[in-house]
């Protein structure tokens, strides 16, 4: 479990980015949403100790982030940043994925095993010798996930993982997220894409001005007046409600509901 208790974060210059956020998070897919500047990235950075609380505390599987290093916490909470190409620096995909496990001090054999396993999870087998920079946008995103997975963290934070991807690549990333969740990972998705929230999340945390203004299930979230928070409803849901079919989470569910009615 990750427990966030009355978390405040004040940046230098006195910007209060988080103002008393409390939540717990386990093996689930949680979407962290909110308008620009609401504090999503600041909150996420607290979960693996990149930032330390100004007030309050964050406990990751019993570890208080104030008392543990980022290196220790990164074994438990992996963070896949937005625009992953900025994080690549090795000459090939194998070395890129091996970097994390190497830093954990694992044996060569185990490192190789982990790289193989992580690349398989994201369908990048056979890419070992390619330069990370030669990959497509979708492949880079999957490589970034593999780099983090190779550390075998229990929790994963994914910051805008489908931004800039075409539909096919976005679907692939969604499939990876579903698979990782089924395998027991807790997943925190930072996203602006409400379709993504509708389709994938189990729970939504909405931040606004550094406070959580909603923490609950997806259906309840989409009953909010989201315009107040600078967010939109997904088109599919709007149409479904307009034609009286109520809450659906995918085109498939919409079509089924339509067929049931006729």
Ligand X SMILES: Nc1ncnc2c1ncn2[C@@H]1O[C@H](COP(=O)(O)OP(=O)(O)OP(=O)(O)O)[C@@H](O)[C@H]1O
Regarding 36 and contact with ligand X (CB under 6 A), the answer is yes
In the block, residue with structure tokens 């931040």: 207
Q: Binder to ligand X among 1, 6, 11, 134 (CB under 6 A)?
A: 11
Interatomic CA distance for residues 181 and 141, integer angstroms:
18
Interatomic CA distance for residues 197 and 250, integer angstroms:
11
Regarding 114 and contact with ligand X (CB under 6 A), the answer is no
Q: Binder to ligand X among 21, 29, 30, 41 (CB under 6 A)?
A: 41
Regarding 37 and contact with ligand X (CB under 6 A), the answer is yes
Contacts to ligand X from residues 65-84, by CB under 6 A: none
Q: Binder to ligand X among 2, 21, 42, 145 (CB under 6 A)?
A: 42
Regarding 34 and contact with ligand X (CB under 6 A), the answer is yes
Largest CA distance in the chain: 61
Size of the site for ligand X (CB under 6 A): 12
Regarding 137 and contact with ligand X (CB under 6 A), the answer is no
Read off the tokens for 14. 């006195």
Binding mask 14-33 for ligand X (x = CB under 6 A): -x-x----------------
Q: Check if the beta carbon of residue 22 is closer than 8 Å to that of residue 4.
A: yes
Regarding 53 and contact with ligand X (CB under 6 A), the answer is no
Interatomic CA distance for residues 4 and 33, integer angstroms:
17
How many angstroms separate the first and last alpha carbons of the chain? Answer: 45
Task: Give the number of other Cβ atoms within 10 Å of residue 20's Cβ.
Answer: 14
Interatomic CA distance for residues 36 and 196, integer angstroms:
17
Q: What backbone torsions phi and psi does residue 207 show, to the nearest 5 degrees? A: -100, 140
Regarding 89 and contact with ligand X (CB under 6 A), the answer is no
Please report how close the Cβ of residue 253 comes to ligand X at its closest, in angstroms: 29
Please report how close the Cβ of residue 118 comes to ligand X at its closest, in angstroms: 27
Regarding 39 and contact with ligand X (CB under 6 A), the answer is yes
Contacts with ligand X by CB under 6 A lie at 11, 13, 15, 17, 34, 36-42
């Amino acid at each position: 479990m990750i427990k966030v208790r009355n978390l405040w974060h004040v940046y230098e210059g006195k910007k209060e980015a988080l103002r008393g956020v409390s939540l717990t998070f386990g093996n689930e897919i949680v979407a962290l949403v909110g308008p620009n500047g609401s504090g999503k990235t600041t909150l996420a950075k607290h979960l693996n100790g990149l930032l330390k609380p100004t007030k309050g505390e964050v406990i990751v599987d019993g570890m208080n982030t104030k008392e543990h290093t980022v290196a220790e916490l990164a074994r438990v909470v992996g963070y896949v940043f937005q625009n992953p190409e900025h994080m690549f620096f090795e000459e090939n995909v194998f070395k890129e994925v091996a970097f994390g496990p190497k830093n954990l001090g694992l044996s060569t054999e185990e490192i190789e095993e982990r790289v193989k396993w992580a690349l398989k999870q994201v369908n990048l087998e056979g890419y070992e010798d390619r330069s990370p920079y030669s990959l497509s946008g979708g492949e880079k995103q999957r490589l970034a996930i593999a780099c983090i997975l190779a550390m075998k963290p229990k929790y994963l934070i994914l910051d805008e993982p489908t931004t800039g991807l075409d539909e096919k690549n976005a679907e692939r990333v969604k499939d990876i997220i579903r698979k990782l969740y089924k395998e027991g990972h807790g997943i925190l998705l930072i996203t602006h894409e409400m379709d993504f929230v509708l389709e994938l999340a189990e729970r939504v945390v909405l931040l606004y001005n550094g406070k959580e203004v909603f923490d609950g299930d997806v259906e309840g979230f989409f009953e909010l007046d989201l315009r107040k928070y600078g967010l939109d409803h997904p088109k599919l849901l709007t149409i479904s409600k307009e034609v009286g079919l109520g809450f659906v989470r995918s085109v498939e569910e919409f079509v089924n509901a339509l067929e049931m009615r006729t």
